[in-house]
Structure 1
Amino acid sequence: MTDFTPLEAMEGMTLVQLEELSDRTPLAGYLDHYRLRVLLKDKTTLHVGNIEVEPYRLWAQVWSPPQPRGTAIIVHGYYDHMGLYRHLLELLLEENLQVVMWDLPGHGLSSGERADIKDFAEYGQCLRQLQQRLCDDGLAKGPWLGVGQSTGASILATDALSHADDGHWCGLVLLAPLVRPWNWARSAWVHSIVGPFVSSVPRRFRPNSNDADFTTFLRERDPLQPLRLPTGWVTAMRRWMPQLMELPPSLLPTLILQGDEDLTVDGPWNLAVLEGKFPRATIHRHSEARHHLVNEIEPIRRELFEQIRQFINPLLVTAAVDARSQPICSHSRASQR
């Protein structure tokens, strides 16, 4: 498979000029492999590189249309990386949003033990520090919309519930959000028995989308896919689950999308929990969708993406005139005083 590890040596964020992008460079190979280069059009710009967020180095991209209405930050799911989010990136750019994408610690081209984390709180710390760094460098500004898939949705939900009144987000889009995994009772029992004795187990590639080409790509043609499940990550998730349950509700505008054929997370149970945590949430269920909603077959994806369009457009209009919609840098600095 293609080796993208040379990209890990990039320092800081670099503006990519399409006309200067040589086909022989690792960056061009990366953009082409994940079919991202075609989105560099219509005066859209791309900054790409690595951002140091102690103790990690995070691989990040900032896609900017002319005169964006705000910034969307995509937080991907477990085992994922930002290269898999082309469809969602295209949608958000069409809605004239600047888009920040980044690989979680231990995923994609970011540093860290593969697919592992000591504490879920580290994800949230990386999220806030990354946003602050981008603001300081003039690469992103509010209002901010959070869009998360699965574990990424849980990271955003935890952040919003933990900082309910700081005006950090204008809204959230939670796609197949993780609160507890599917068939959790059995999985928790197995983890309790096996966890103390093994550090990881082989990953099983189950079809998580109705798009057979996508699931084949994950299994056979994506060099950035982790091949093992660290038991330490499951331990961290088990510590995080009751912490989320204890957080107070938030009135933040939220859209939650869930597939009824999802065998990765416990959709019905998770929706009941999140409906209580986000009382203003709009919930849309799709009877045929599986877990990886941003890479579902086109008819399902079109329906789900229309829900996102209908949610974000009035939200951004309101945020544009809301006195609280100040650049995220101001909120972050105020919270640090």
Structure 2
Amino acid sequence: MAILSLAQLEDVSSNLRHLAFDPATDTVEKTASELAYLNYYGLDLSESFPGTRHYLGSMATGHFRIACQYWLPANLNSSLESGLQQAEIQKSGIKGTVFITHGYFDHVGIYGYLIRYLLQQRYAVVAFDLPGHGNSSGERVTIETFDHYVEVFAELLRRCEPHLPRPWKAVGQSTGGAILLKFLMAARPERYENPLESVTLLAPLIHPTAWRVNLWVYRLIHRVVKNLRRKFMANTSDPVFNQFVATRDPLQDRHIPLEWVGAMKHWTEEFADLPVCDFPVKIIQGDKDTTVDWQYNLKAIKGKLPNAKIMMVSGAGHHLVNESVSLRKQIFENIDV
């Protein structure tokens, strides 16, 4: 079994190289600590996908240093370095680029199944740790406003613009789905353009479960309590994943800052005021999800995005990217890529 020490994690997060998202200048070389990180989380895909090139580093944006990774399928790297046009790249079998936005408490390390699937489909893949998550900087698992998440995502797209193949698509899990919703619904030329051709939301967050009760508790205590203890829930039907997150993932945090709850509260209020958007998002939702109020959320999203297509997955919990093998197959095959 792979071993990852806290010292190695600290070395990774403290010494990430600048990424230009340009294979002509970025390096695939890894330090010993970076290799330990990749092996521990199963992100070293060199044997499973011969010829695939993986880049690990960071980008600076606003107040944050964001840990980023991208994977280029075999033959794509040389095509990009040769300056081939998009049509020529697509003739080589490369379908485009998919951007992944992860959920609250998550990080890129636990999205290996999705990354593998997308590489199998011949996509380049870009993923990043949200501020305060994984190997990114920022106060742990909190944010002043979801605007900061969207700003990071928009900046990531801007940096990738000259280099990664089109079309561009995105997949967001839970809070990552909220980020993509806000990105789509708030896009305007003076802020940022929307370059995404398709977006898939996995169990997107608008209201969490029991939001009315939780909101009452938040209003009662948020001025005097800074953090609440996190309770680990079985968010999938895969007990191995559930146990790993609860007991063996050193990048998991064990408290919930009330500031983050306040930012989520603002997001739920803001969503109600955002204009109707005609973008045809795809929503995949498990009917055993006890983390978000999915009945409310699906109705609310459909009201704001009338062209949304919804797929229910019987027996699936909240963390869809890490569901059991049979459910995960059903979920991934219905992602809009």
Instruction: Give how far 1:156 is off.
Output: 0.3
Letter of the 1:11 counterpart = R
In the alignment, what sits opposite 2:152?
Answer: 126
In the alignment of these two chains, the number of paired residues is 303
Structure 1 residue runs of 5 or longer lacking an equivalent are: 313-337
Q: Are the equivalent residues in 2 in contact too, given 1:50–1:59 (CA < 8 A)?
A: yes
Letter aligned with residue 169 of structure 2: L
Confirm or deny: 8 A CA contact 1:72 1:97 kept in the other structure: yes
CA shift at 1:71, angstroms? 1.1
2:17–2:56 CA contact under 8 A, matched in 1: no
How far apart in 2 are the matches of 1:106 and 1:167?
A: 25
**Bigger relative contact order, structure 1 or 2, given CA contacts below 8 A and separation 6+?**
1
Structure 2 runs not aligned, ≥5 long: 20-25, 77-93
The amino acid of 1:2's aligned partner reads S
> In the alignment, what sits opposite 2:134?
108
Aligned to 1:36: 43
- Aligned mate of 1:213, from 233, 240, 243: 240
Partner of 1:12: 18
Residues 138-178 of structure 1 show CA distances to partners (whole Å, capped at 9, x for unaligned) of 3x243211110000000001101112784421010000000
Asked if structure 2 preserves the Cα contact closer than 8 Å seen for 1:63 and 1:100, the reply is: yes
1:303 and 1:164 map into 2 onto residues whose CA distance is: 35
Kept in 2, the 8 Å contact 1:49–1:61? The answer is: yes
Q: Counterpart of 2:69 in 1: which secondary structure?
A: strand
Query: 2:275, 2:205 → 1: CA distance?
Result: 18
Instruction: Tell me whether 1:229 sits opposite 2:256 in the alignment.
Output: yes
2:105 maps to: 79
State the 1:39 CA deviation. 5.0
Q: Distance in 1 between matches of 2:237 and 2:157?
A: 33
Q: CA deviation at 1:37?
A: 0.9
Q: Retained in 1: the 8 A contact 2:16–2:67?
A: no
Separation in 1, partners of 2:188, 2:165: 20
Verify: 1:158 aligned to 2:182, yes or no.
Answer: yes
TM-score normalized by the length of structure 1: 0.86
Greater than 3 Å deviation, 4+ residue runs: 164-167
Q: Tell which deviates more after alignment, 163-172 or 48-57.
A: 163-172
2:55 counterpart of 1:47: yes
Distance between the aligned counterparts of 2:204 and 2:175, measured in 1? 7
Deviation at 1:74, TM superposition (A): 0.2
Q: Please report how far the alpha carbon of residue 38 of structure 1 lies from its aligned counterpart in structure 2 after TM superposition.
A: 2.9
Q: Which moved more, 1:67-76 or 1:262-271?
A: 67-76
- The residue type equivalent to 1:56 in the other structure is F
- For the residue of structure 2 that corresponds to 1:16, the secondary structure is coil
- The amino acid that maps onto 2:170 is G
Instruction: Give me the CA root mean square deviation.
Output: 1.6
Distance 2:306 2:270 in 1: 19
Question: Which one is further off, 161-170 or 277-286?
Answer: 161-170
Q: Deviations over 1:77-100 (max 9, x none)?
A: 000000000011011111111110
Given that 1:39 and 1:90 are in contact with CA atoms closer than 8 Å, whether structure 2 keeps it comes out as: no
Q: Give SS of 2:295's match.
A: helix
Structure 1 residues 280 and 12: alpha-carbon distance in aligned structure 2, compared to 1, 3 A threshold: same
When normalised by structure 2's length, the TM-score is 0.86
Call closer, same or farther: CA 1:39–1:183 in 2, change over 3 Å: farther
Query: In the alignment, what sits opposite 2:82?
Result: none
**1:186 aligned residue (192, 205, 213):** 213
Task: Give CA deviations for 1:30-84 in whole Å, capped at 9, x if unaligned.
Answer: 1111111135623111111011111100000011113432111100000000000
- Structure 1 residue identity aligned to 2:176: G
Tell me the residue number matched to 1:90.
116
Query: What's the offset of the Cα at 1:246?
Result: 1.4
Partner residue, 1:238: 265
Give the conservation status (yes or no) of the 8 Å contact 1:103–1:110.
Answer: yes
Number of the residue aligned with 1:277: 304
